Structure 1
Amino acid sequence: MDQFVKDNRSPINNNDLLLEDETLLLIVDVQQKLINNIKNNKLLIFNIKKLIDTCNLLNVRIAITEQNPLKLGKTIEPIAENNEYPKFEKMEFSCSKKKNFINYVNEYNFKNIIVCGIESHICILQTSIDLLQQGLNILIPRDAIGSRNEIDNDTAFLRLILSGAVASTTESLICELCKTSNRKEFREVSKILKNSFSN
């Protein structure tokens, strides 16, 4: 497996708060033929969209993966409405097997990767464990990952945390990226936070 290039930054500590320029929002496989069978899929999409809106506001980079898009379709429109996000097509369940993804992570020296999307027990799990093994700090928003079956989702989340990923939520990560109500973007961040889900 290709190795990530180590840079001169300080060692990663999962107790450190997120810095915008060191963080990537990775949206995994939220595709047309997968999303309909995911439990609580509307809430999942809603929370991922909140993360996207915050990251766009705070200049945090965003990337998308697609599993076998010829068969499973492209990323759904609410997620992929900005065509400038880099996309990484894959057949492997873990996107860290893709050299172009590794090169992308190395290019921007990401230390922290917020991993959201589907399915928790397959592509989220395998991608996150691979990235943890490469020394990256992986954050999992519990309310922005999903699977078809609740037991798969819950078991995957438990394994991820036991493997060293950091448990979080959408709102917590938004506030962690924002850090202060004094910054000029906070008014818009506050609107994102106050936006409530309605089924």
Structure 2
Amino acid sequence: MTTDDFSARDLIVREDGVLVVIDVQEKLMPAIVDRENLVDHLVRLLKFAQIIGLPVVLTEQEKLGATLPEVKGLTPNVSPIGKVSFDCFRNAEFETAVRETGRTTLILTGVETHVCVAQTALHAMPEYAVHVVSDAVGSRTEDNWRIGLERMRQAGAVITSTEMLIFELLQQAGTEEFRATLPLVK
């Protein structure tokens, strides 16, 4: 079986992915359940994106403050896209930014799982394959986090984890990228 035997929904291909970071902002994050864990996983993903050259698109919901410094510090060349809609695709600047990457697999992270992340995922399918990183998304309650993930799964999104995604995108050990990534997964 060759790489060509897999669709993006089965096994993500790095050349087709774009990392989307939704609304990880100063005024919202204090209310998110297990926020430290979420931010830790997101920071690892952003460092990994730098290692493999994965493009990043970053959004900020109006009136919720700036993107967290630990996230913004890892995306110095990425301008946050401001929005008022919950669904990122209802913002022309976001849609353009995603299209300009030329990628068709969205790797979704951020908050809130059951609102902005879910609405963005639902709007994206079927035009885009959607992978939601379960330990890098969050909500104000665990129930809403779980329900948001389940709704997206039922609609066809792939639910993954930070470590699963990293190893899937690496594909093999023994490379410079693998060695550079090891500190992120140990």
State the TM-score, normalized to the length of structure 2: 0.92
Match of residue 45 from structure 2: 51
Aligned AA for 1:102? E
Contact 1:31 1:74 in 2 (8 A): yes
Query: What is the CA–CA distance in structure 2 between the aligned matches of 1:13 and 1:91, rounded to whole Å?
Result: 33
Residue 7 (structure 2) pairs with residue 13 (structure 1): yes
Counterpart of 1:7 in structure 2 is none
RMSD of the TM alignment (CA)? 1.5
The Cα offsets for residues 45-93 of structure 1, whole Å up to 9 and x where unpaired, read as: 000011101010000011111000xx21010000111321132110000
Worse overlay, 26-35 or 94-103 = 94-103
Structure-2 separation of matches of 1:188 and 1:172: 17
Listed as ranges, the gaps of 5+ residues in structure 1 are: 1-9, 195-199
Q: Deviations over 1:86-122 (max 9, x none)?
A: 3211000011011122222222211111101100111
Tell which deviates more after alignment, 168-177 or 102-111: 102-111
Counterpart in 1 of 2:87?
Answer: 94
The letter for the 2-side match of 1:159 is: R
Contact 2:59 2:82 (8 Å CA) reproduced = yes
1:142 aligns with 2:157: no
- Structure 1 residue 21 displacement after superposition: 2.6
Task: Report if the CA contact (8 A) 1:14-1:166 is conserved.
Answer: no
Instruction: Decide whether the 8 Å contact of 2:9 with 2:129 is kept in 1.
Output: no
Question: How many matched pairs?
Answer: 181
Please tell me whether residue 38 in structure 1 is matched to residue 32 in structure 2: yes
Where does residue 178 of structure 1 map in the other structure?
A: 170
Tell me the distance in 2 between the aligned counterparts of 1:155 and 1:105. 26
Contact 1:62–1:86 (8 Å) recurs in 2? no
Deviations 1:171-198 (A, max 9, x none): 000111111113211111111111xxxx
| 120-129 or 99-108, which deviates more | 99-108
Runs of 4+ in 1 over 6 A off after TM superposition: none
For residues 52 and 30 of structure 1, what CA distance do their matches in structure 2 show? 13
Deviation at 1:16, TM superposition (A): 4.2
